[in-house]
Amino acid sequence: MCSFDAPSDDSNATSSDRLSFSSTDSCAHGAPTFDPQGGSPCQGDPQVLLRWPSLLLQALVLVLTTSELHCSLLVFPALQLTSHFTGIGTAEVAADMLRSSINHALGCNVKWAHLSCCDKSPKCRQILLRRPGLGCIFGNIAEYSRGLSQLMKQKSLDPDEAWEQLQQHFALSGGFCHQHQQTCNHVAGHCDISGSPCQPWSRIGKERGRHDVRFALTLCWILWVLTAMPWVAIHENVIGFDKNVFEELLGAVYGIVHIIVLPGHMGYRFTSRPRLFTVLWLKARVAMVHDIRVTYDRVSQVVRQWQPELSTSSIYTGDQQLLLEVENAFRRKRNLPCLTEASSDWTYLLGKSETEHLQAYLTMWGAQRGTEPHTDTNCLFNLGQNPNMRLSWTSRHGAMPTLTAASRKLWSPYLGRWLIPSELATAMGFNTGASAQTGVPVDPSVDLYSHAILGNAMHVASVGGVLACALACLRPIDPVES
């Protein structure tokens, strides 16, 4: 028996959500028809990919049926969300885009609330403060346990001792809130979405795993889950993350499903960011009525089929004024006079090591790919990575190099410059407002983005795809009040 309020006729869906779909269309495997109103982008415009929430909801209707969705957590009217290691608020952006489509596609009036988020980076918190609708913004997960700060000072971590030490000092007490400029209480919600530090597991790091001191941050989050007991917790990390830790520490009280997720599943084929998502649900309160992994696989296949195939070059900006601003900002750092027009070649702004890496990449590309990089519109080199140690360039399938905090500059020989943050933000699923209107709110923090900040972010569409499928497959065991 469904325990939620009856669907409302009210809808706050935007023009990007106005899609029509019928069973005839699905049988023919055709794409939904877009409403031409609202300034829809053309098929070669990357902004068209921002329609993934609407396509995702229609795919869920196709796979699970509308009646099943109306009994799921997806339409829980007052879902309360939290996040840790929040970064620039990818989870919050994805949830807001998804909520709008839920209301339109399912005739609901869900009003999800962002209770709190947490990040130690002042730059990230500056971005979070610009995002509308966020609740408390805390500064550090270390506020939960005094033992965490001590563990982070060690050179190596004993995970068993760390777990014991964290438990001794753990408490969900108050902390300083940068949103309200006062001490606020840490309040648990229904669903938490967090991506813990990936360095212990990343192939470009030392891969020290559980003995890396940064693993203590993940242990602290797990302890928070056991203490706060959210109905649903979604964790994101690199593919090499040791997922057994969840079975060991949370398996007694939480159901667990692991999903390997690519941005291409939601249409961003040119973005290389494979990630391991783990969905946990509190077995005492929530039941999985449909297999989350199977549902995600089926739904993502449909969405991928409906989305247009775009290449990396589709994200390149033609805004010469914006390019001029970026070039002049780097010129000022070198005490060079500002230009009045953007130049066509930025190699003079590269550092010594970057110039050496570029020359090595150009030689290797020609030898291994047999093509001229300056004429390949999709060719990109990560100048922050020494190609003699590890190649970091566009894949043979056309996916751009994986963006990391150390990426520094992704160089396009075709453009004669590196990609600027707004282009990278587009590739990561944010609406930069660089082209046709889509009905999705323009990101208010684009001017604050940097390569490093975006390199630490989750992909918006990846988070949204997992969140939607997880909530659609879960249902409260007992009737509850919202």
Three-class secondary structure of residue 243 per DSSP = coil
pLDDT at 38: 39
Whether the CB-CB separation of 266 and 56 falls below 8 Å is answered with yes
Whether the CB-CB separation of 110 and 142 falls below 8 Å is answered with no
Q: How many CA atoms lie within 13 A of 25 on its CB side?
A: 17
Q: Are residues 107 and 195 in the same domain?
A: yes
pLDDT at 304: 95
Q: Are residues 192 and 169 in the same domain?
A: yes
Rounded to 5°, the CA angle 241-244-250 comes to: 115
Q: Are residues 41 and 154 in the same domain?
A: yes
Q: Are residues 368 and 283 in the same domain?
A: no
pTM across the whole model: 0.89
Whether the CB-CB separation of 337 and 404 falls below 8 Å is answered with no
Block mean pLDDT (10 aa), the chain, length 482? 34 31 36 42 75 96 96 94 96 94 91 95 96 94 84 87 89 91 93 92 76 91 96 96 96 98 96 95 97 98 95 93 95 96 96 96 93 94 93 93 83 97 94 66 87 92 98 86 46
Q: Are residues 428 and 305 in the same domain?
A: no
Q: Are residues 115 and 240 in the same domain?
A: yes
Question: Per the structure, how many domains does the chain have?
Answer: 2
**Residues sharing a CB contact under 8 Å with residue 255, sequence separation 6 or more, in sequence order:** 280, 281, 283, 286, 288
Asked if residue 85 is part of any domain, the answer here is yes
Tokens 């009210």 found at: 10
Q: Are residues 446 and 303 in the same domain?
A: no
**Is residue 83 within a helix (H) or strand (E), and if so which, with residue range?**
strand 80-84
Whether the CB-CB separation of 281 and 232 falls below 8 Å is answered with yes
Q: Are residues 274 and 364 in the same domain?
A: no
Asked if residue 446 is part of any domain, the answer here is yes
Asked if residue 327 is part of any domain, the answer here is no
Asked if residue 362 is part of any domain, the answer here is yes
Q: Are residues 246 and 369 in the same domain?
A: no
Q: Are residues 84 and 183 in the same domain?
A: yes
Asked if residue 7 is part of any domain, the answer here is no
Asked if residue 482 is part of any domain, the answer here is no
Asked if residue 272 is part of any domain, the answer here is yes
Q: Are residues 77 and 194 in the same domain?
A: yes
Burial of 406 (0-12, 13-18, 19+ CB in 10 A): middle
Q: In which domain, by residue range, is 139 found?
A: 15-311+460-476
| CATH code of the domain in which 74 resides | 3.40.50.150
Asked if residue 21 is part of any domain, the answer here is yes
What tokens appear for 458 in the block?
């989750």
pLDDT at 146: 80
Q: Are residues 295 and 375 in the same domain?
A: no
